[in-house]
């Protein structure tokens, strides 16, 4: 100590605010976590798994919703479906067929309707090439392709003049199955036996994919004229009436008029007209509920991760008791000690959240890829909610150990235990 | 003893007790004491006599159960934990028997720590710390961790850390208790030089009578009470 006091480097002026600079505090917490080593990684893993679960599940939920919406969008919002059921307590004889509907009269009553068709489903035995199989036959009107946007791969569709004739049109999948049974391709002109009658195939439809608004898949049925259904089953019952309106405006108005007309034409039947929008809304509600359930699941894993953080921080505080005392002796205020440990918990949770976000996004992408869904939709909400709640959980569970450290008396912290 | 010097520490009928109820133990009984600035003072006494308690109270690490403690004329008994922390940082340097260096920090970072709490930028704090590490003769060890140093070297680092904030009061709790005789002599010499050069007030708790004899004043603590032992 030979130098005079004046050559000693002096701390800068008194105007400096008391307390460690924030950058220094961050640096310290990083260094301390590095010293914690494997234990920090374990706590971090808990948070990462929780965050990954939230991010992945929310993202998958979002993608599932998107996929469902995509299917709905294909069918167009101008389509409307009336579900028809016989009232069981009515005075009508249940052994009577449902009345024939005059589609041309419907066009006159509601001119906004572009095309309409009944759907009369029935199960039937198909015989071909000496083998028997069962199939669904649907009686429909000539306008069905216009209503559902069907296109023909081969031949023609049924016309109004096919009334009672023995002509059928095959859905794409049915045609494929019959080809396998037949040994060679079925085509217009091929004859098949349905029940007790022989029918001639006049057309084969192109594949349409599933349409969730109607209760059957057109690809999987054999279509024939509604009037000819009497030949297949004794009591043909109209299951649905599908219509397409000119545009998507005034749907409610059209649906109520359709309801009224059908009720008038078909007394003793329960008629319920459904709009695609209602279906979409129901579906959205369902997928939202699903999303929340998944989020809850992710939240529980996050909570478990938070307990892991708390565990590490409690251990950390009790092991570094003496260090806390030394820091207090050197001038650390209670709030400096609290910040020290809170920042450590925060850094721990943030790194875990970041890791979890990456893993969660990747696993959601993997899921969507292997589920064969159209394309991956990145959900920003999932990312924000996942990382945000992970960091909040880390802070929440880090708070109590940090405060207990700050509340230590310096003399107690320095004492040997 | 220079009675005209400004008074740095003053205790007014201070008592301190641990625990409550039946396990209640009185460590200090009605102690009054005044230490002027620039004095060297030894506190001696047998184990459990209350000398460490006295040092903890002077060092603002503990608060008296009754009575008042004045530091630089300010009544510290009325201060918040935060104000006490700031006062410790600005006025007091601690030297512990077991060194109490932070094991994860390098020598330089250990010494710079009090300045960082004061709000000095890291770069600047390290510059000052480097000077003090040089002063205690460890200029070539600044990057080492405390675990890589010998006991004597660690205590020198601890002294540098106590000095870096340029405290008016240096408190040493058996600073040589864990050192061999050769290191004891050099550490004590270092502390005495500080008192000579900077006028730093020095309070040392010790068992070693040879150290106590070097101080200008010696206080014997016995069963919670103090009495002055006059040094020759």
Domain membership of residue A330 (yes or no) is: yes
Yes or no: domain B7-102+169-229 corresponds to CATH 1.20.1250.20: no
Span A37-51, pLDDT tens digits? 888 888 888 889 889
pLDDT at B1 > cutoff 50: no
Whether A178 and A188 have beta carbons less than 8 Å apart is answered as no
Q: Is residue A394 within 8 Å of residue A350, measured between CB atoms?
A: yes
A3-45, pLDDT tens digit by residue? 444 456 666 545 568 888 888 888 888 888 888 888 888 888 8
User: Which residues of B fall within a CB distance of 8 Å from A20?
Assistant: 116-117, 119
Residue B3 has pLDDT above 80, yes or no: no
> Mind telling me how many Å the CA of A59 is from chain B's nearest CA?
41
Residue numbers in B near A334 (CB within 8 A):
81-82, 85
What is the DSSP secondary structure assignment for residue A95, as one 8-state letter?
A: T
- For position A60, what pLDDT does the model report? 85
A247/A350 same-domain check: no
Nearest by CB: B124 against A3, A12, A23? A12
Specify if A329 maps to a domain.
Answer: yes
Phi-psi region of B70 (alpha: psi -120 to 50; beta: other; left: phi over 0): beta
**Bridge partners of residue A273, in order along the sequence:** A82
* Among A204, A239, A267, residue at a domain's last position: A267
- What pLDDT score was predicted for residue A329? 95
**Do residue B128 and residue A11 have CB atoms under 8 angstroms apart?**
yes
The H or E element containing residue A86 is strand A79-86
Establish if A154 belongs to a structural domain.
yes
Give residues with Cβ within 8 angstroms of B93, minimum separation 6.
Answer: B161, B162, B163, B165, B167, B169, B170, B171, B200
CA dist B217 and B228 (Å) reads 8
Q: pLDDT band at residue A276, thresholds of 50, 70 and 90? A: confident
pLDDT value of position B2:
42
For residue A31, give the nearest of B104, B124, B197 by CB distance: B104
Q: Is residue A356 scored above 90 in pLDDT?
A: yes
Same domain, A36 and A129: no
- Residue B112's closest CA among B47, B40, B160, B171? B160
Is the separation of the CB atoms in A263 and A271 below 8 Å?
yes
Chain A / chain B CB contacts < 8 angstroms: 108
Q: For chain B, which residues lie within 8 Å of any Cβ of chain A, measuring from their own Cβ? A: 56, 59-62, 81-82, 85-86, 88-90, 94, 96, 100, 102, 104-105, 113-122, 124-125, 127-128, 131, 135, 161, 165-166, 190, 193-194, 197-198
Beta pairing class for A197-205 and A167-170: parallel
The answer to whether position A80 is within a domain reads no
Co-location of A161 and A247 in the same domain: yes
Per the structure, the count of domains in chain A is: 2
Determine the average pLDDT of the residues in A171-189.
Answer: 88
Judging contacts by C-beta atoms under 8 Å, the chain B residues touching residue A328 are 61, 85, 88
Q: What is the mean pLDDT of chain A?
A: 85
Tell which residue, A228, A238, A293, A245, has the closest CA to residue A268: A238
Cα angle B85, B89, B95 (rounded to 5 degrees) comes to 110
pLDDT > 50? residue A63? yes
- Please state, rounded to an integer, the average pLDDT across all residues of chain B: 89
pLDDT of residue B125: 92
Record: contact B124-A21, CB cut-off 8 A: no
Determine which helix (DSSP H) or strand (DSSP E) holds A344, and give its type and residue range.
helix A334-371
> Do A370 and A292 lie in a common domain?
yes
DSSP secondary-structure letter at A220?
G
Task: Provide the 8-state DSSP code for A336.
Answer: H
Question: How many CB atoms are closer than 10 A to CB A127?
Answer: 16
Kindly state whether residues A253 and A113 are assigned to the same domain: yes
**Exposed/middle/buried for A260, CB within 10 Å: 0-12, 13-18, 19+?**
middle
* Same domain, yes or no: A127 and A171: yes
Q: Count Cα atoms within 13 angstroms, Cβ side, for A54.
A: 33
Instruction: Kindly write down the DSSP assignment for every residue of B83-124, as one continuous string.
Output: HHHHHHHHHEEEE-TT----TTS-HHHHHHHHHHHTT--HHH
- What is the Cα–Cα distance from A331 to A311, expressed in whole angstroms? 28
CB B125 within 8 A of CB B205: no
pLDDT band at A149 (very low <50, low <70, confident <90, very high): confident
At residue A9, the pLDDT reads 66
- Taking alpha carbons only, the member of A154, A173, A228 closest to residue A198 is A228
State the nearest Cα–Cα gap between B208 and chain A, in angstroms: 22
B115, B89 Cβ separation under 8 angstroms: no
Mutate to test the interface with B, among A3, A11, A24, A26 (most CBs of B within 10 A): A11
Query: Number of H helices and number of E strands within chain A?
Result: 12, 10
Report residue A244 as tokens.
Answer: 């397409």
- Considering only CB atoms, A332 lies closest to which of B60, B85, B100, namely B85
CB contact under 8 Å between A1 and B59, yes or no, is: no
Contact B115, B157 (CB under 8 A): no
What is the structure's pLDDT at A11?
62
Looking at the structure, tell me whether residues A385 and A247 fall in a common domain. no
Higher-scoring residue by pLDDT: A84, A291? A84
In a domain, A257, yes or no: yes
In angstroms, the CA B184 to CA B189 distance is: 8
Domain that holds residue A380: 22-71+282-414
Q: What's chain B's length in residues? A: 232
B174-207: pLDDT as tens digits: 888 878 888 888 888 888 988 888 889 999 998 8
Question: For B103-155, how does the pLDDT look when each residue is reduced to its tens digit (9 = 90+)?
Answer: 989 999 999 999 999 989 899 999 999 999 998 889 999 999 999 999 889 99
Shared-domain flag, residues A238 and A371: no
Would the pLDDT of A297 be above 80? yes
A287 in the same domain as A259? no
Closest residue in A to B102 (Cα) is: A323
Chain A: which residues have CB within 8 Å of chain B? Answer: 1, 3, 5, 8-12, 16-21, 23-24, 27, 31-32, 35, 322-323, 325-336, 409-411, 414
Nearest Cα of chain A lies from the Cα of B135 at a distance, in angstroms, of 6
Average pLDDT over residues A234-249: 84
pLDDT value at position A335? 93
Q: Report residue A127 as tokens.
A: 């015989």
Domain-located, residue A273: no
- Mean pLDDT of the A313-333 span: 93
pLDDT of res. A6: 40
Residues A294 and A262 in one domain: no
Contacts of A27 in chain B (CB under 8 A): 122
- Between A132-136, A374-378, B36-40, B205-209, the lowest mean confidence (pLDDT) is in A374-378
Residue B207 CB neighbour total at 10 angstroms:
14
Which residues fall within 8 angstroms of residue A289, CB to CB, at 6 or more apart? none
Residue A382 has pLDDT above 50, yes or no: yes
Same domain, A286 and A249: no
In a domain, A362, yes or no: yes
Same domain, A116 and A259: yes
Structural domain contains residue A34: yes
Q: Which residues of A touch B96 (CB under 8 A)?
A: 326, 414
């Amino acid at each position: 100590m030979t130098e005079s006091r004046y050559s000693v480097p002096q701390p800068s002026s008194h105007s400096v605010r008391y307390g460690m600079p924030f950058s220094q505090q961050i640096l310290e917490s990083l260094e301390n976590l590095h010293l914690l080593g494997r234990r920090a990684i374990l706590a971090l893993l808990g948070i990462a798994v929780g965050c990954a679960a939230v991010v992945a599940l929310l993202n998958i939920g979002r993608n599932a919703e998107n996929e469902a919406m995509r299917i709905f969008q294909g069918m167009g919002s101008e389509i409307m479906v009336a579900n028809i059921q016989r009232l069981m307590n009515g005075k009508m004889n249940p052994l009577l067929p449902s009345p024939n509907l005059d589609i041309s009269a419907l066009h006159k009553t509601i001119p906004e309707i572009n095309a309409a068709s009944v759907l009369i489903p029935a199960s039937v035995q198909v015989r071909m090439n000496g083998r028997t199989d069962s199939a669904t036959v649907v009686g429909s009107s000539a306008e069905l392709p216009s209503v559902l946007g069907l296109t023909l791969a081969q031949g023609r569709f049924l016309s109004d003049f096919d009334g009672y004739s023995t002509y059928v049109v095959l859905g794409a999948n049915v045609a494929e199955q019959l080809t396998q049974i037949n040994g060679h391709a079925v085509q217009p002109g091929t004859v098949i036996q349905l029940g007790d009658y022989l029918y001639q195939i006049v057309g084969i439809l192109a594949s349409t994919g599933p349409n969730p608004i109607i209760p059957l898949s057109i690809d999987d049925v054999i279509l024939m004229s509604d009037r000819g259904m009497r030949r297949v089953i004794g009591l043909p019952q109209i299951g649905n009436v599908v219509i397409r309106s000119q545009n998507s405006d005034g749907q409610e108005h059209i649906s109520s008029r359709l309801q009224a007309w059908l009720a008038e034409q078909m007394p003793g039947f329960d008629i319920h007209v459904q709009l695609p929008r209602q279906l979409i809304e129901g579906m959205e509600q369902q997928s939202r509920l699903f999303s929340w359930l998944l989020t809850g699941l992710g939240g529980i894993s996050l909570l478990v991760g938070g307990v892991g953080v708390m565990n590490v921080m409690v251990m950390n505080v009790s092991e570094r008791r003496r260090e806390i005392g030394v820091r207090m002796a050197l001038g650390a205020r209670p709030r400096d000690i609290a910040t020290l440990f809170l920042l450590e918990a925060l850094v721990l949770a943030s790194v875990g959240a970041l890791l979890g976000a990456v893993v969660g996004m990747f696993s959601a992408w993997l899921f969507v890829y292997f589920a064969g869904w159209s394309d991956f939709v990145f959900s920003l909400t999932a990312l924000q909610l996942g990382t945000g709640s992970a960091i909040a959980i880390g802070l929440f569970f880090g708070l109590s150990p940090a405060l207990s450290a700050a509340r230590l008396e310096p003399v107690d912290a320095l004492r040997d235990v | 003893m220079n009675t005209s010097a400004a008074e740095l520490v003053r205790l007014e009928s201070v008592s301190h007790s641990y625990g409550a109820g039946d396990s209640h133990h009185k460590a200090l009984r009605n102690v009054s004491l005044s230490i002027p600035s620039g004095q060297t003072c030894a506190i001696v006494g047998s184990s459990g006599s209350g000398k460490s308690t006295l040092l903890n109270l002077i060092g603002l690490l503990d608060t008296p159960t009754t009575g008042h403690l004045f530091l630089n004329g300010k009544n510290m008994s009325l201060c918040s934990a935060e104000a006490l922390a700031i006062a410790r940082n600005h006025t007091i340097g601690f030297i512990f028997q077991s060194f109490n260096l932070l094991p994860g920090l390098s020598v330089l970072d250990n010494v710079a720590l009090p300045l960082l709490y004061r709000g000095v930028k890291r770069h600047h704090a390290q510059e000052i710390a480097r000077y003090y590490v040089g002063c205690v003769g460890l200029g070539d060890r600044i990057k080492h961790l405390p675990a890589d140093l010998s006991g004597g070297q660690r205590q020198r680092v601890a002294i540098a850390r106590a000095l870096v904030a340029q405290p008016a009061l240096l408190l040493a709790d058996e600073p040589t208790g864990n050192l061999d005789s050769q290191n004891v002599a050099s550490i004590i010499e270092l502390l005495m030089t500080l008192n000579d050069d900077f006028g730093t007030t020095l309070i040392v708790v010790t068992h070693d009578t040879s150290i106590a004899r070097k101080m200008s004043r010696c206080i014997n603590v016995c069963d919670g009470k103090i009495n002055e032992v006059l040094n020759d």
